[in-house]
Amino acid sequence: MIGFLRGKLAHKMPPQLVIDVNGVGYEVDAPMSTCLNLPAVGAEIHLVTHLVVREDQHTLYGFSSELERQLFRDLLKVNRVGAKLALGILSGISVEHFIRCVHDEDNATLSKLPGVGKKTAERLILDMRDRVNVQAKDLTLVNVHMNDTDGEPKREAFTALTTLGYKPAEARRMLEQVDTELASTEDILRDVLQSAAPASGI
């Protein structure tokens, strides 16, 4: 599984991108929400990815944030929602707005998205309700407690901690107790987990 790509943006024709990683060009499909925020061709970029494997092809999808990728993966679990439709949904609505629509049962807005009719919108609300409840809680914590001044390594560490099973509020408290300035994600996680480990007796 390819978890992320870090390299030079070699080609950009939304939704298709080519990322040059040490001389290897990876073809990636990305939602418009990601494509619109990309720098010019030739610049260094970082995308989290999801690989969809079929009998006749392997397709790599790229996203600018972990929340986008998680929503994409959750959409794939909905009956009759494939990767193409999931990508179209992410291209037509932000993660925050999608979560709000599911919570408010706003099928009128969802049904206007590309490829989403009334029945699909109702299915999205029904099947995604439990999944976006967790995302909405995490999203609030990211927006309020993990603002832009925290830096990408701290945000990535927050995501990693919640993936490991820590509750969002607990992960945030753990990050507040270590020096996270000018450190890599790996350094932050190492310090956080070492601090969280119970002290051994001598």
In the predicted structure, residue 174 carries a pLDDT above the cut 60: yes
* Mean model confidence pLDDT for the chain: 83
Q: Mark whether 52 and 73 lie in a shared domain.
A: no
Q: Mark whether 27 and 45 lie in a shared domain.
A: yes
pLDDT of 154 reads 78
pLDDT of 149 reads 47
Which comes out higher in pLDDT, residue 68 or 196?
68
Residue 201 maps to a domain: no
CATH classification at residue 166: 1.10.8.10
Residue with tokens 């929503």: 71
Nearest to 101 by CA among 77, 76, 129, 74: 129
Q: Mark whether 27 and 59 lie in a shared domain.
A: yes
Q: Mark whether 130 and 95 lie in a shared domain.
A: yes
**Residues with Cβ < 8 Å from 151, sequence gap 6 or more?**
180
Phi, psi of 19 (to 5 degrees): -110, 120
Q: Mark whether 70 and 140 lie in a shared domain.
A: yes
Residue 105 maps to a domain: yes
Q: What is the pLDDT of residues 123-164, one digit of tens each?
A: 999 998 877 765 555 554 444 445 444 566 777 777 777 667
Q: At what angle do helices 66-76 and 118-145 cross, to 10 degrees?
A: 150
Residue 120 maps to a domain: yes
pLDDT of 193 reads 81
pLDDT of 157 reads 78
31 exposure class (CB count in 10 Å sphere: 0-12, 13-18, 19+):
buried
Per-residue pLDDT band at 1 (split at 50, 70, 90): confident
Structural domain range at position 184: 146-196
Q: What is the pLDDT of residues 61-86, one digit of tens each?
A: 999 988 899 899 999 999 889 999 99
54 vs 70: CA distance, rounded Å = 20
Residue 114 maps to a domain: yes
CATH classification at residue 48: 2.40.50.140
Q: Mark whether 88 and 133 lie in a shared domain.
A: yes
Residue 21 maps to a domain: yes
Which comes out higher in pLDDT, residue 182 or 131?
131
- C-alpha 152, offset from chain centre: 13
Q: What single-letter DSSP state applies at residue 60?
A: E
Backbone φ/ψ region at 151: left (φ over 0), alpha (ψ -120 to 50), beta: left
pLDDT of 178 reads 78
User: Which sign, positive or negative, has the C-alpha torsion 129, 131, 137, 138?
Assistant: negative
Total domains in the fold of the chain: 3
Residue 78 maps to a domain: yes
Q: Mark whether 20 and 52 lie in a shared domain.
A: yes
Residue 63's H or E segment, with its range, is strand 58-63
Q: What is the pLDDT of residues 86-102, one digit of tens each?
A: 999 999 998 888 988 88
Tell me the CA distances in angstroms from 47 to 55, 91, 119, 197, one per residue in order.
25, 16, 32, 31
Q: Mark whether 79 and 139 lie in a shared domain.
A: yes
Mean pLDDT of all residues in 6-13: 96
CATH classification at residue 94: 1.10.150.20
pLDDT of 5 reads 96
The answer to whether 48 touches 41, Cβ cutoff 8 Å, is no
